[in-house]
Amino acid sequence: MPRYLTEQDIADFRARLCEVATERFAKLGYEGVTMRQLAEALGCSPKTPYRYFKDKADILATVRAQAFDRFARALEGAAKAPPGERGRRTTEAYLDFALKNPHAYRIMFDLDTPIDDSHPELLEACDRAATYITRGAEQMAAAGLIDVDPQLFGWATWAALHGIVMLRQSGMLKHGPDYKALSAFHAALMRKGAAPERKRAQKRA
Q: Which contiguous run of DSSP H or E holds residue 33?
A: none
Structural domain boundaries of the chain? 7-198
Instruction: Tell me 29's DSSP state.
Output: -
Torsion of CA 168, 169, 172, 173, to 10 degrees: 20
Cα atoms found within 13 Å of the Cα of residue 47, Cβ hemisphere only: 0
Which among 129, 132, 46 has a CA at the least distance from the CA of 87? 132
pLDDT tens track for 113-161: 878 888 899 999 988 888 887 787 888 888 887 888 888 888 888 888 8
CATH number of 7-198: 1.10.357.10
pLDDT tens track for 115-126: 888 889 999 998
- 147 or 13, higher pLDDT: 13
Which among 107, 96, 105 has a CA at the least distance from the CA of 179? 96
CA distances from residue 1 to 137, 165, 179 in whole angstroms, order as listed: 59, 50, 55
Average pLDDT over residues 191-201: 50
Predicted confidence at residue 140, as pLDDT, reads 81
The DSSP annotation for 76-88 comes to HHHTTS-HHHHHH
Which among 109, 112, 111 has a CA at the least distance from the CA of 163? 109
Lowest mean pLDDT among 5-9, 137-141, 160-164, 201-205: 201-205
pTM exceeds 0.85, yes or no: no
